[in-house]
Amino acid sequence: MSALSDLTPAEEHRYVAGRFLDVARRATAQQWDAPAPVSGWTARDVVGHLVEWFPAFLASGAGVVLPEVPSVEEDPVAAWTARAGDVQHLIEDPGERVLENPHIGTIPLAEAIDRFYSADIFMHTWDLARALGQEPALDPARCDALVAGAQEHEEAMRASGQYGPRVDVPADAPAQDRMVGFIGRDPYWRPSRER
């Protein structure tokens, strides 16, 4: 695997979307209704979030309409496979397209996908893995880079309501635990059946 700094946005998306798919494929049918670390969510809801929020963001900011995907309720893995494939196709050939947003300005489409969607997939891989009773083992360099990039926008990030309060972890905790705590998750969270 190349160093994080060496990856193009398309390579980064392929990597994080593939890791998320690897986690999802190991789920049993019964596990999709298991609680997730995000309050009120199940494992299925984690997939649903990633499948459902991004199309509106792309449509409003870049005029890009993603195809419909299979139902997350019926087949979360098929839904994720289709959504990740559509986004991968888009990020590999973004052309001159840009994304315009009143909060972030105008940025190249591939950069927008990388900054907002690939990062979200990476973070939610931890949620899905924990909901399914798996150990996520996220790349430490990516964890550190995500926190470093987010810290300068922390006030706005928290004000958005999309992240919980920071969960304190020891300064010498693993990078994954520091990232998870930064985004408002308890690194020691496990489904209740495992507690």
pTM for the model: 0.92
> With bands split at pLDDT 50, 70 and 90, how would you rate the model's confidence at 121?
very high
Structural domain range at position 112 = 7-136
In tens, the pLDDT along 64-107 reads 999 999 999 999 999 999 999 999 999 999 999 999 988 789 99
Same domain, residue pair 16 and 80: yes
Percent of the chain past pLDDT 70, that is, above it, reads 92
Same domain, residue pair 126 and 144: no
In tens, the pLDDT along 122-131 reads 999 999 999 9
In a domain, 1, yes or no: no
Burial of 122 (0-12, 13-18, 19+ CB in 10 A): buried
Number of domain units in the chain: 2
Same domain, residue pair 33 and 48: yes
In a domain, 195, yes or no: no
Task: Average the pLDDT over each of 44-53, 59-68, 122-131, 147-156 and give the range with the smallest value.
Answer: 147-156
